Amino acid sequence: MPEEKNEKKKFLERPTSRRDFLKQSVKGAAGAAVSLSIISLFTDSADAKAFATADGIVISDPVLCVGCRRCETNCTTINDGKAHPYVSRVKVGRNYNFGEYGPSIDYWNENGQFGDFTIVVDTCRQCEAPHCANACPMGAISAKPPANARVVDTDKCVGCGRCQAACPFDMATVDPEAKKSTKCTLCGGYPTCAARCPVGSLKFVPWKDVELALIERKKLLKN
């Protein structure tokens, strides 16, 4: 019995990072969205600086996505003048084989090409109080019209990587060549990734429709 109590104590005292906590929280976002404002799910600190609400976010339908990764190429070609999936503002490659949460013991029952062939695409949440912006020591990230997306000012950015480390969704990325941070700008309200998706998996969703879209996404992933 003492040994069992010690094991329970070790488990309860095990450190959990903010990133791990938020990843687990996102799994239950569909249920929470019914009673909570969906925007409130994207901030965890009352002290964090809030920005003007973005016009919407880009959301992917994991059932429609075929994993062609054209969105990554189109994103970087338009924004960076080069085909560089690593710095793409929409992330497909990292979830391609095993899904959002990486390899698991029963990976064949999970998402990804090694699982149920469902491709989960990660996109910027355009957080109300963005971790990336609040972590930036240069104040290089701010809400920019016309879509009020959280945009990196490359003149101020020094490529320190604090935004990349702070983002709980791993969306901000420092370009190893330009030494500048990159993140989704919503392409001024007309995201290239969505406009050029050959199967219509990616869509720009206004905030008023985000809650319903996330609930439907969770249902699709469970089926």
Q: Which domain holds residue 192?
A: 18-222
Residue 188 lies in a domain: yes
Give the pLDDT confidence of 129-173 residue by residue, as tens digits.
999 999 999 999 999 999 999 999 999 999 999 999 999 999 999
Would you say residue 10 lies in a domain?
no
**What are the DSSP calls for 147-208, one per residue?**
TTEEEE-TTT-----HHHHH-TTS--EEETTTTEEE---GGGGS-HHHHT-TTS-EEEEEHH
Integer Rg of the chain from CA: 18
The answer to whether residue 6 sits within a structural domain is: no
Q: Is 4 inside a domain boundary?
A: no
Read off the pLDDT of residues 14-30 as tens digits, 9 standing for 90 and up.
444 444 433 443 333 33
**50: exposed, middle or buried (C-beta count within 10 Å: 0-12, 13-18, 19+)?**
middle
Domain count, the chain: 1
Instruction: Decide if 3 is inside a domain.
Output: no
CATH number of domain containing 210: 3.30.70.20
| Position 9 in a domain | no
| Global confidence as pTM | 0.68
Mean pLDDT of 205-215: 75
Kindly state whether residue 7 falls inside one of the protein's structural domains: no
For residue 112, being part of any structural domain is answered with yes
Which has more pLDDT, 212 or 175?
175
Give the CA distances from residue 118 to residues 9, 165, 195, in Å, rounded to whole numbers and listed in that order.
Answer: 37, 27, 21
Q: How far apart are CA 25 and CA 38, in angstroms?
A: 12
